[in-house]
Structure 1
Amino acid sequence: MGRLASRVARAGRQIGWYWGSLMGDNHYRRYVAHRARTHPGEPVMSERDYWRMRYRASEVQPRCC
């Protein structure tokens, strides 16, 4: 019974990781890691500002044609 519970728990964690990745839960963490790796010592946007910037970038801009 222990093996079955272990497999179920592992499957649950994998599904949770996939769902979180799909929904964007880890985007800010990836951004912070990237900034620390590529621009050490520089300030990092707050999570609130990051999501605001992402939301504005995804808005569709009206076009004339």
Structure 2
Amino acid sequence: MTDRTELRRPGLARAGAAFARGWRAVQWYVKEVVGENDYDHYVTHLRRHHPDAQPMSRRDFERAKVDRMDTDPGSRCC
């Protein structure tokens, strides 16, 4: 009977790892473009530069973000 390690293909494992890295990169990019990470960036900035300040809740942050977008649409088409 053969050992299972002999049946593994190192090239296939590397390809799978490369695909996984690429997929994570695509997920990160889409989240950045859509703005899903904005709250996390806000909290990180607040903790780094204003450690005594209390961050808004995610709900309040999203509400303020939408209000800002409504008052200053910038280059949006709609």
Given residue 25 of structure 2, which amino acid in structure 1 is its aligned partner?
A: Q
Q: Which residue number in structure 1 is paired with residue 41 of structure 2? A: 30
* Alignment TM-score, normalising by the size of structure 1: 0.86
Which of 67, 73, 76 is the matching residue for 1:56? 67
Q: Distance in 1 between matches of 2:71 and 2:58?
A: 22
Are residue 5 (structure 1) and residue 16 (structure 2) matched?
yes
Q: Which has the higher contact order (CA 8 A, sep 6+)?
A: 1
**What is the aligned-residue identity percentage?**
33
Q: Distance in 2 between matches of 1:60 and 1:37?
A: 28
* Alignment TM-score, normalising by the size of structure 2: 0.73
Which stretches of structure 1, 4 residues or more, deviate above 2 A after TM superposition? none
| Aligned-residue offset at 1:39 | 1.1
Residue aligned with 1:59, SS:
helix
Which of 38, 42, 48 is the matching residue for 2:53? 42
Q: Distance in 1 between matches of 2:53 and 2:39?
A: 16
| Aligned-residue offset at 1:60 | 4.0
Q: Which runs of 5+ in 2 are unaligned?
A: 1-11, 73-78
- How many residues align structurally? 61
